[in-house]
Structure 1
Amino acid sequence: MSVYVILLLIVPAVSGLNLTNEEVTALLSFKSSISYDPDDSLSNWNFSIDENPCSWNGITCKQGKVVSLSIPRKGLVGYLPAAFGSLSSLRHLNLRSNRLFGRLPLELFFVKSLQSLVLYGNSLSGPLPQEISNLTSLQNLDLSHNLFTGLIPSSLIRCQRLRSLHLSNNNFSGPLPIGFGRSLVLLERLDLSFNSLNGSIPGDIGELSSLQGTVDLSHNLFSGLIPPSLGNVPDNVYIDLSFNNLSGLIPQNGALVNRGPTAFIGNPALCGPPLKRPCSSSSVVVSSPSSSLPFQPNNYQPMSSVPNNGISDNHRGMSKGLVIAIIISDVIVLFVIAFVFFYCYKRATSSLRKEKVEEIASDNNKGNNSRKECRCFFAKGESETISEDTEQIDLVPLDDRVRFDIDELLKASAFVLGKSWMGIVYKVVLEDGLNLAVRRLGEGSSQRLKEFKTEVEAIGKIRHPCIVSLRAYYWSNEEKLLIYDCIPNGNLSAAIHGTPGMVEFKPMPWTMRINIMRGIAQGLAFLHEFSPKKCVHGDLRPNNILLGQNMEPYISDLGLNRLVNIVRGSSLLPSERINTDKPQIQQTDVPGSPAPKLGSCYHAPETLRTLKPSQKWDVYSYGVILMEMISGRPPMVLLDTSEVDLVKWVEFCIEQKRPLADLLDPQLVPELQKENEMVYVLKIALACVQINAERRPSMRNVVDTLDKLTREIDRSL
């Protein structure tokens, strides 16, 4: 007798409940398929505890039917039962970030009401069935980070209401279905990266006119030419074609224009701008006679056929040597002019900058980081007093979901979260209950608006689950504001060390620390490799890693140094603010956090020698953060009678062959049975903080290594 029949027999009479026997049986069948439930998420799925299944954890009902089953990030180990097909009114199924395995049951694809199927971050395998075409109401499909194989079914194009399609990090192969772009015209989000998809990119993909954000086709096996029609997608869409087998000239039209090389790297046969790889004549392939390119042979008469009117070749132009000499002399003259201008400018502004820095320092010393409420964070009358020759910009949204204006922001309640040399941070609560974090940069230079706008809009395009999103900004003569999502659980520094006055400090278990480490690494890897520009954070520290509702990490303050320097008329980088004799103390942005840390402790050694930030800076900072999370020590540690930075302290302990318990956060000692995992992470940290920057791993390598560790942990359960 099948499990399904047995469950049907043991389900009590539910005549007093709205749900049918089949729906209740389907829910209990799912519970019985779960072999491990570490958080007891399904503990109340029991009639002896709660007789109403509609009130069970993760279940939502409407009009006596189950319409939603959502149990994400609970570590559930098990499989999806065929009985899910009995949930005939199910609209949303969200089991993301668990440890589910096995194949998708065919019965699930006969639930025609299903609108959202989110199974991200499990170990599900097998093909995606052709029966997916039955889900004609499907709008959101996220199967990324699983083990799916086979073709993307051709029947997927019948799901014409799809708005979000995420299939990244699987083993899908073969070409995209014919009619992919022509059929899925409502698609807004598309991520097919890290698969083995091959064949050519379909020409009709340019018909996806509703796309937003990033179209990610990277890390596949796509070959052939980039179809020029791909440039027809909206101009603000970032197209990532990196690490494929594409060839030929990169089209320069529409959304493909003015893209950096990051979008095309890893395709050895691609040529032309923005790559520094010129095209040979054989690389330029014309799709049709009518699609002539600017320098087609048919469009221009060859020089050899132009009569020279008796003038010999030797006298038709200047010699190469003379041309080179003229160019060099012009460059030298321009360099001298630029040097003189820069010298005069520095002399004229140096005294003003010094006074400004002193004023900021004075303000910070007087700052009070208490959580007192203030009705507004600047007087509206002040912001409106603007000189006639200064351009003013109102609140500028960087996200379609921004529905408030500057007046609503001014009327909202605001609480001071912290203050540093980078400005005051407020928690702002709008009338509709929306929580925002607003950083007030204060008054400053009004001459660099265009530069500020370029920087802030580039930051606003960066969207990743582990990066704080910049939602809007405001610029006036008196005020410059940055408006972010509000992240509720403080910062990583407070989570590691606690805060003064905290009534109860709850240390983080090892599993939570691993998840935070992975999240930070994933955010940095995205910045370094997949953001519209290859971004560098440059000042990563536990204070600017915020923690969400479920302790998931968010990297904050991206590009903040640059924005502050623009506002205040300075060009200083973090490395320039460090005095090698007396490192500056950084004020924290969260009241009650541990004693201020030495800013240089998280900075790579080369930041003292070079002004150009690099990705290896972030790798070093990340390594120090790993050491802090493993050891529970602050970035400066007392060794004998002197203080040394955390990296030197860890290296000293290893050289002295001290036991692992001496290196660990005392709160982790009860979990010493996970010693192998801790040593594994410590090795990653040591690789990240190597003196030679070139020997440090990339953040992509770090992510892959931590993913491997996580898979091994899962297999050991």
Structure 2
Amino acid sequence: MVLPIVFLAFFLCNCLSFVASLNDEGFALLSFKQAVQNFPEGYLNSWKNSDDSPCGSYNWKGVTCREGKVVALSISNQNLSGLLPPGLGKLSSLRRLNLRNNNFHGSLPFELFNASSLQSLVLSGNSFSGPVPTQIGTLTNLQVLDLSQNAFSGSIPSSLVQCKRLKALVLNNNSLNGSLSDGFGTNLTTLQKLNLSFNNLSGLIPNDIGQFSSLNGTLDLSHNHFSGSVPATLGYLGEKVFVDLSYNNLSGPIPQDSAVLSLGPSAFIGNPLLCGPPLKVLCPPGALDPYYKPYPSDPSSKPKEVHHSSSCAVIAAVSIATIVGICTIGLLLYHKYKNACACKWGDGVGSSPFEEKLTLRQKISCFIKNDLETLSEVMEQYEFVPLDSQVDFDLERLLIASAFLLGKSRIGIVYKVVMNNGPTVAVRRLGHGGWQRFKEFQTEVEAIGKIRHPNIVSLRAYFWSVEEKLLIYDYIPNGDLATTLHGNAGMLPYRPLSWPVRLRIIKGIARGLAFLHEFSPRKYVHGDLRPSNILLGQNMEPLISDFGLCRLANIAEESQAAQCEQTTTGTPKRSSTPEQSSPFEFTAINATLSRSYYQAPEVSKVRKPTQKWDVYSYGVILLEMISGKPPMIQIGSLEMNLVQWIHLMLEDGKLMIDILDPLLARELNKEDEIAAVLKIALACVCKSPDKRPSMRHVFDSLDRLTSCINQQDMLDEVAKFTQ
């Protein structure tokens, strides 16, 4: 009897010694693990109470350490649920807490704010509720606060103005109410991004809003209940700030200052009582002073705080840019020396689609550190941001997935990335450089990432670092429209498109463009629409790709700016090196047809793209699908574009059979439908932009046309093509 008791005592003592060996930070993290529900099987198996520390020889998953202390906890997109335990506040060295896109609920424990070293608190995309604790003001080192897409209520705590280092304040899509105090602009002078949209905030917009002297990303106060006038100090904000005051209860005349007017009407729509330019709403007589200027006539009479802050910001920016520039050059030289052999093929030149199976990390090893442990150590310099709640992979899983080169263009390299037991995605590399413009890049890419439409390729996530920028899209299996229409050297047997399938594609492109023009948040212009960036899905549905790509490339790497401008402002520069391709292209990166033939005549005269540019490009694509001809036609020694050729054929009185793609010759019973589409195409390519229809009108016309067609016949044709 004595022996079993002695053995039990010995066993308990050993267990207690193991538990006792774990330090306080380990216990704090285990309390988090115990509070979590529904985490993936085996996901936190590395968190063991038998370890001495979370920072031991086997680092705990999602935990980043430095000098033996936990500095970051990042577990996003894992469908975790439960209450947030107060024990996390005991992580005294914690700098970053990222639990984005999970299902945590309940209120935030005030003990969390005992972690006074916190610099980044990202809890967006959960179900947290209750007020934002006033203790948040104790986080004087806080730089990023993102509580968006939750159910927080109550007012924004006034103590928040004590977080004077705050750079990003993102509280959109909650149920916050109350007003903003005048101290917002005066105290938060380092703020670069402010998004309070889709709440129940009310009262006046603070007059000191113009003192956000560092703002260079977003100022979004839309979809609230703000009242009163538009502050004249709005004109103090920088030119690159995206301002949105739409859908509030603002009233009175809009300040007639050039900086305010340049925001455009989209910044003010949804305020029925606002008047004056840039809205097309007349003000009552005398209400609008055309000579009114919010700026003082003497620049020296501007508020001293703004001037002083701007000067300090300029000096700091120059100093930081110089130091980081030197470090970046040294780092790039080091990587060039270290990876010289691997980089011989890393740019994709000359690669075959049947090349040796390599991971995405190996493919881009010239730019990203090879060692994932090293990558984790410098994670604060990196951002991997899912833009969709359905994204179920992280950076580590993306980098170790198999990658296959799809091709190379002037705007980066494209890979097909196949994850084990996961999705297949297309990853476009935009190159390196331009780290100073991260906030601008972030604002632009996240706006594009909000676009969801069945005829537009979805941007699912992005990765940003000093050395590399990646865009992660849905992979579209059936290639692009250019290759499908004209074939490609090395392809499997070419299969011509029947007219019902072409009509389905024509209508889908119109639907997607109409959405971009009329219903997307920024009423986008594509600016570079071509068959090579219209992809075809599983059932031959068209998906428009690459919109906004040139803008992102310009931000990501300044050296690409001139190349991108050529796609929208004139004849493209011919490359001396042939662009590489494969038979399984994500987009037709080897296109030899000059994109200028798809551009409207006014492109060379007007630098800013308009929606009528896209209408013209769409019209050329319709003519190409009807005639089967490329956009440039050679007749003997004479060159003419497709639009000129069509007009010449019609002027000579040629019949439809002379214009029609020979591959459609057997479908002359569809001549009335084809003639109707030809009429739409000719309207779209009208030389005068004002006489071209809107894409919404084009889609409505096509919708009426196809409503008279047997939809089952069209689907049967699609099924035949995809078999």
Matched-pair contact (CA < 8 Å) for 2:174–2:198:
no
Structure 2 equivalent of residue 691 of structure 1: 687
CA 1:277 to 1:682, structure 2 compared with 1: closer, same or farther past 3 Å?
A: closer
Aligned partner of 2:707 in structure 1 is 711
Unaligned runs of 5+ in 2: 1-149, 152-172, 176-196, 202-217, 231-243, 251-262, 308-313, 330-342, 714-723
Matched, 1:375 2:359: yes
Residue identity matched to 2:490 = G
Residue of structure 2 equivalent to 1:598: 594
Matched, 1:576 2:566: yes
User: Residue deviations 1:151-184, cap 9 Å, x none?
Assistant: xxxxxxxxxxxxxxxxxxxxxxxxxxxxxxxxxx
C-alpha displacement of 1:544:
0.6
Which residue identity is paired with 1:403?
D
CA displacement, residues 375-395 of structure 1 (integer Å, 9 cap, x when unaligned): 223235259889x99972331
Residue 371 of structure 1 deviates from its aligned partner by 4.3
Query: Which residue of the partner structure matches residue 485 of structure 1?
Result: 474
Q: Does 1:678 find its partner at 2:674? A: yes
Helix, strand or coil at the partner of 1:647: helix
Q: 2:297 aligns with which of 326, 335, 349?
A: 326
Is the 2:453–2:512 Cα contact (8 Å) retained in structure 1?
yes
Q: Please show how residues 341-490 of structure 1 align to structure 2 within 5 Å.
A: 366-368=349-351, 370-372=353-355, 373-376=357-360, 377-379=363-365, 380-381=368-369, 392-490=381-479
- Per the alignment, residue 279 of structure 2 pairs with 276
Q: CA 1:279/1:671 → structure 2, altered by over 3 Å: closer, same or farther?
A: closer
**Contact 1:398 1:457 (8 Å CA) reproduced:** yes
Secondary structure at the aligned position of 1:473 is classed as strand
| Amino acid in the other structure paired with 1:456 | V
1:413 positional shift: 0.7
Going from structure 1 to structure 2, the CA distance change for 1:261 and 1:671 (only over 3 Å counts) comes to same
Q: Which residue of 2 aligns with 1:567?
A: 556
Matched-pair contact (CA < 8 Å) for 1:418–1:591: no
Output the CA distance in 1 between the equivalents of 2:704 and 2:293.
60
1:653 to 2:686 alignment? no
User: Per-residue CA shift, 1:100-157, capped at 9, x if unaligned?
Assistant: xxxxxxxxxxxxxxxxxxxxxxxxxxxxxxxxxxxxxxxxxxxxxxxxxxxxxxxxxx
* Letter paired with 2:364: F
Cα deviation, residue 264, structure 1: 7.8
Q: Give the whole-Å Cα distance in 2 for the aligned partners of 1:449 and 1:505.
A: 44
Contact 1:466 1:555 in 2 (8 A): yes
Conservation of the 8 A alpha-carbon contact between 1:262 and 1:529: no
Describe how 1:493-504 pairs up with structure 2 within 5 A.
493-504=482-493
Indicate how the Cα distance of structure 1 residues 636 and 449 shifts in structure 2: closer, same or farther if over 3 A, else same: same
- TM-superposed CA distance for 1:411, in Å, is 0.8
- Give SS of 2:708's match: helix
What is the alpha-carbon distance in structure 2 between the residues aligned to residue 684 and residue 328 of structure 1?
54
Give the letter for the 2:535 counterpart: L
Equivalent pair of 1:562/1:573 in contact (CA under 8 Å): no
- 1:578 and 1:369, CA in 2 relative to 1: closer, same or farther beyond 3 A? farther
2:664 pairs with one of 663, 668, 685: 668
Partner of 2:627: 631
8 Å contact kept, 1:364–1:421? no
> Structure 1 residues 515 and 451, CA, compared in 2 at 3 Å: closer, same or farther?
same
1:419–1:324 Cα change, 3 Å: closer
Cα displacement (A) at 1:273 = 9.7
Partner of 1:517: 506
TM (norm. structure 1) is 0.52
Deviations 1:589-621 (A, max 9, x none): 664767511121111121112211111111111
Q: Name the structure 2 match of 1:137.
A: none
Classify 1:507/1:276 alpha carbon distance in 2 versus 1 (closer, same or farther; 3 Å). Answer: same
Contact (CA 8 Å) 2:530, 2:621: kept in 1 or not? yes
The RMSD of aligned alpha carbons is 5.0
Change (3 A) 1:601 1:281: closer
Looking at structure 1, the residues matched to 667 and 406 of structure 2 have their Cα atoms a distance apart, in angstroms, of 34
1:41-440 equivalence runs, <5 A: 231-232=199-200, 261-262=265-266, 271=274, 276=279, 326=297, 366-368=349-351, 370-372=353-355, 373-376=357-360, 377-379=363-365, 380-381=368-369, 392-440=381-429
Report if the CA contact (8 A) 1:542-1:625 is conserved. Answer: yes
Check conservation: 2:568, 2:603, Cα contact below 8 A: no
CA distance in 1, matches of 2:506, 2:421: 34
AA in 2 matched with 1:441: L
Q: Aligned equivalents of 2:669 and 2:397: distance in 1?
A: 53
Distance 1:256 1:519, change over 3 A: farther
AA at the equivalent of 2:405? V
1:265-303 per-residue CA deviation (whole Å, 9 max, x = no partner) reads 6x8965369963679799x9xxxxxxxxxxxxxxxxxxx
Note if contact 2:417-2:426 (Cα within 8 Å) is conserved in structure 1: yes
Gap change, CA 1:396 and 1:602, over 3 Å in 2: same
Mark the CA change 1:499 to 1:531 in structure 2 (over 3 Å): closer, same or farther.
Answer: same
Q: CA deviation at 1:503?
A: 3.2
- Give how far 1:551 is off: 0.2
Name the structure 1 match of 2:186.
Answer: none
Cα drift, residue 685 of structure 1: 0.9
Give the letter for the 1:451 counterpart.
Answer: E
Cα deviation, residue 652, structure 1:
1.4
Q: Counterparts of 1:493 and 1:716 in 2: how far apart (Å)?
A: 26
- C-alpha deviation, 1:711, in angstroms: 1.9
- 2:249·2:271 contact (CA, 8 Å) conserved in 1? no
Q: Read off the aligned partner of 1:630 and give its amino acid letter.
A: I
Aligned-residue offset at 1:499: 1.8
> Is residue 487–residue 547 contact of structure 1 (8 Å, CA) maintained in 2?
yes
Q: Distance in 1 between matches of 2:647 and 2:223?
A: 40
Give % identity.
48
Q: Does 1:508 align with 2:508?
A: no
CA distance in 2, matches of 1:588, 1:692: 37
On the 8 A contact 2:566/2:572 being kept in 1, the answer is no
Name stretches of at least 5 consecutive residues in structure 1 with no aligned partner: 1-184, 187-207, 211-228, 242-247, 285-319, 335-340, 353-359
Q: Secondary structure at the match of 2:457?
A: coil
- Judged with a 3 Å threshold, the aligned counterparts in structure 2 of structure 1 residues 538 and 329 are, in CA distance, closer, same or farther, namely farther
**Aligned twin of 1:526:** 515
**Pair 1:504–1:591, CA change in 2 (3 A):** closer
- 2: CA distance, partners of 1:648 / 1:363: 43
Supply the AA of the counterpart residue of 1:611: R
CA distance in 1, matches of 2:581, 2:573: 18
The answer as to whether partners of 1:383 and 1:477 remain within 8 angstroms in 2 is no
Aligned 8 A contact 2:433 2:467 in 1: yes
- Which amino acid letter does the alignment assign opposite residue 650 of structure 2? I
**Deviation, structure 1 residue 402:** 1.1
Distance change >3 Å, CA 552–CA 249, structure 1 → 2: farther
Classify 1:608/1:364 alpha carbon distance in 2 versus 1 (closer, same or farther; 3 Å).
farther
TM-score relative to the length of structure 2: 0.51
| CA distance 1:559–1:321, shift in 2 (3 Å) | closer
CA displacement at 1:253 relative to structure 2: 8.7
Q: Check the 8 A contact 1:576/1:611 in 2, yes or no.
A: no
Local SS of the residue matching 1:447: helix
